[in-house]
Amino acid sequence: MTFGSRLDGARARLGRVVSHSRRPALAIPLAILGLLVSLAVFGPLLWPKGPLAVDLGSALQAPSLAHPMGTDELGRDVFARFLEGARISLGIGVLVVVVGAAIGGAIGIVSGTLGGWVDGVSMRIMDALLAFPPLVLAMAVTVGLGVGLRSAALGIMLTSVPWYARVLRSEVLRVRATPFVEAISVLGATRRRLMNRHILPHVLPTLLIQAAAVFGYAILALAALSFVGLGAQLPTPEWGAMITEGLPYALGGQWWISIFPGVGILLLVVSSGLLADRARDILDPQARHSILPE
């Protein structure tokens, strides 16, 4: 397959993405993600109140024009904390996706291309990691390294690596079995050339699909770890920690402290899941489902 044919294939995929982006099934989750990203990036710059500013005289106020999402037990503006929480969740979600894709994708591509003992050893390590429930493994890593956002992010990254590795290895094996790759191998192409020029371009769509699915998992896992006290520590305004902080007051009618960060988590996870499904339909018509946590 020549470079021109690969370029034409990439243009065709890009054209399908552009045409499908106008459809509600893809436009709605894209709009939700765009709104949340805009709030995370520009919100703290435009909203004058700080997420850690204490005002005991304004404690537990209901949503109003002055405080669109109300205030918490210390009079801190929930909207300001929501914006800062969006920055934390999105930043760690992107970090988990990029690092997990780089490490897990490299393991899967190299294992599938080289085969032999390299494939056997690397996949047994991935199987060992997959033997643990992902959230339990992330909790164990976080406890071992010391509770906090950094340890939680490392734990979530570790649990995402085997999914990338397994999915990319399967895709590489599928591409290697195609007639044009077998013909190139017979003609004497080295494994390095085979991987860089003929396998990698064909597995990138699968990598992007898996990344969209892992992003939603990363947001939910971070919130879960913070909810049980292993992720963000107070007064850091992470969404999961905000839910935990507001639970005692929800029974007294101050529902807004926990509800708004919960809605943010829901919107991010659902929109990323919808994007992963639509991306699979667009980029991979022969849809092969991702490995996701149960």
- Read off the pLDDT of residues 163-194 as tens digits, 9 standing for 90 and up: 999 999 988 888 877 777 677 766 666 667 77
Judge whether residue 275 has pLDDT over 60: yes
- Tell me the residue length of the chain: 294
Q: Output b/e per residue, 48-78; b: 16+ Cβ within 10 A.
A: ebebeeeeeebebbebeeebebbbbeebbbb
Judge whether residue 256 has pLDDT over 50: yes
- Measured CA to CA, the distance from residue 219 to residue 93 in angstroms comes to 6
Judge whether residue 285 has pLDDT over 80: no
Would you state the pLDDT for residue 140? 93
pLDDT in tens, 233-253: 888 899 999 999 999 888 888
Q: Is residue 231 packed enough to be buried (19+ CB in 10 Å), middle (13-18) or exposed (0-12)?
A: buried
Residue pair 127/107 in contact by the 8 Å Cβ criterion: no
Q: What are phi and psi of 77, to 5 degrees?
A: -70, 120
Would you state the pLDDT for residue 290? 43
The lowest-confidence range among 67-76, 118-127, 200-209, 243-252 is 200-209
Question: Tokens for 102?
Answer: 């780089």
Q: What is the percentage of the chain residues whose pLDDT exceeds 90?
A: 42
Mean predicted confidence (pLDDT) in 208-231? 90
Tracing tokens 């996870």 back to the chain, one arrives at 269
Q: How would CATH label the architecture of 90-294?
A: Orthogonal Bundle (1.10)
Q: What is the pTM of this model?
A: 0.83
